[in-house]
Amino acid sequence: MKINEDFFKQDAITVARELLGKVIVRTWDDGTESQYLVTETEAYYGEEDLACHASKGRTPRTEIMYAVGGHVYVYLIYGMYWMLNFVTGSKDHPEAVLIRGINHIKGSGKVGRELKIDKSFYGENLNLSARLRIEAGIAVTDFEVAPRVGIDYAGEIWKNKPWRFIAKFLQ
DNA sequence: TGCACGATCTCG
DNA sequence: GAGATCGTGCAT
């Protein structure tokens, strides 16, 4: 079952938590589908969040984060890994949720590789996409909260925000 | 027009 | 512990 299309209009922290246990459905070029349960996420919230790419303002790369929730934000990191994010919140307020883990797969770089994410997914609308959609999955009430990973440059305040969510099942 | 660096992973 | 590998943002 498809989720409410207003789901991604909530703030990034809420969406990151609620995304645990949801299902990412990937439709491949040959028409077959694969389903992945979301197990780990991170929230990036607003220009004031120094760990958020939008903290440097609107650029061609971050532009999509300023769109209303429900769009896909992807970017290349370390020249080899495509990171999958979902834009959240309202128009003109940059927020996104990074998918760090699905099923048994841990590590956001591996998530992008498993789902065959690339530049062409940038800006995709989840409510219209033929390749990617989110469906209601199982309720996750047992999860861990932790600081985000790999953002030492963001300074004490932002670096320590407990905006990483890890589902406790299947660990 | 050039350069340093990253929301990472894999292999020694 | 280092290398792979390249788009982005900022300095020239």
Domain regions of chain A by residue span: 7-167
From the alpha carbon of A52, which nucleotide's C1' atom is closest? B7
Protein residues with beta carbon less than 7 Å from any atom of strand C: A 53, 56, 59-62, 75-76, 78-80
Q: Is the pLDDT of residue A11 over 50?
A: yes
Gap from A95 CA to B2 C1', Å: 32
Query: pTM of the prediction?
Result: 0.95
Instruction: Note the pLDDT of residue A5.
Output: 82
Q: Which nucleotide is nearest to A77 (CA to C1')?
A: B6
Which of the nucleotides in strand B have any atom less than 7 Å away from a protein CB atom? 6-10
Strands (DSSP E) contained in chain A are 23-27, 33-45, 72-77, 81-87, 95-102, 105-106, 132-135, 143-146, 164-167
Answer whether any strand B atom is within 7 A of the Cβ of A107: yes
Confidence class of residue A170 from pLDDT cuts 50, 70 and 90?
A: low
Is residue A64 pLDDT above 60, yes or no?
yes
A108 touches strand B (CB under 7 A): yes
Encoded amino acid at A127, one letter: N
Nearest CA to the C1' of B8 belongs to which residue? A109
Rounded to the nearest integer, the mean pLDDT of chain A is 95
- The helix, strand and coil proportions of chain A, stated in percent and rounded to the nearest 5, come to 20, 35, 45
| Chain A window 8-37, residues with Cβ within 7 A of nucleic strand B | none
Q: What is the pLDDT of residue A171?
A: 47
CA of A82 to C1' of B8 (A): 10
Q: Which residue has the tokens 């020249």?
A: A79
Asked if A118 and A82 count as a contact pair (C-beta separation under 8 A), the reply is yes
Q: Is A158 left (phi over 0), alpha (psi -120 to 50) or beta?
A: alpha
Q: For residue A169, what pLDDT band results from cuts at 50, 70 and 90?
A: confident
Q: Averaged over A150-154, what is the pLDDT?
A: 92
For the domain bounded by A7-167, which CATH number is listed? 3.10.300.10
Residue pair A126/A7 in contact by the 8 Å Cβ criterion:
no
Sign of CA dihedral A124, A125, A128, A133: positive
Give the C-alpha distances (Å, rounded to integers) separating A23 from A1, A3, A70, A101, A104: 10, 10, 15, 12, 13
**What distance in Å separates the CA atoms of residue A171 and residue A160, rounded to the nearest whole number?**
23
8 Å CB contact between A96 and A83: no
